[in-house]
């Protein structure tokens, strides 16, 4: 019969597995929210113009950087959706 340590190890691994599932689901939700926000900005000409102006004024963040991060998050989320654990 397995000892207490083996049972504790099993439970720890199961807990970590479930935690990973929750974190990955949160990543997918966040990506969906980012895509919705991006679509809303692009769909509204005034909102898009103001956002573009903001990006021109921001000394630390460029539009290219924002779009790159959005694409990275979407790529990760798409992978999670296509390869569930």
pTM given for the model: 0.85
The first and second tokens of residue 12, run together, are: 């720890």
Task: For 5-48, write each residue's pLDDT tens digit.
Answer: 999 999 999 999 999 999 999 999 999 999 999 999 999 999 99
Closest of 83, 77, 82 to residue 23, by C-alpha: 77
Residue 49: band (very low, low, confident or very high) from pLDDT cuts 50, 70, 90: very high
Q: In sequence order, what DSSP letters do the residues of 16-56 get, joined into one string?
A: HHHHHHHHHHHHHHHHHHHHHHHHHHHH-HHHHHHHHHHHH
Domain residues of the chain, as ranges?
4-82
Query: How confident is the model at residue 67, as a pLDDT?
Result: 95
């Amino acid at each position: 019969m397995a000892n207490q340590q083996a049972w504790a190890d099993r439970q720890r691994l199961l807990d970590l597995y479930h935690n990973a599932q929750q974190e990955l689901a949160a990543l997918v939700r966040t990506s969906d929210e980012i895509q919705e926000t991006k679509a809303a900005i692009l769909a509204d000409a005034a909102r898009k113009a103001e956002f573009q102006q903001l990006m021109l004024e921001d000394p630390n963040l460029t539009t290219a950087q924002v779009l790159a991060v959005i694409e990275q998050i979407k790529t990760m989320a798409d992978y999670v959706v296509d390869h569930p654990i």
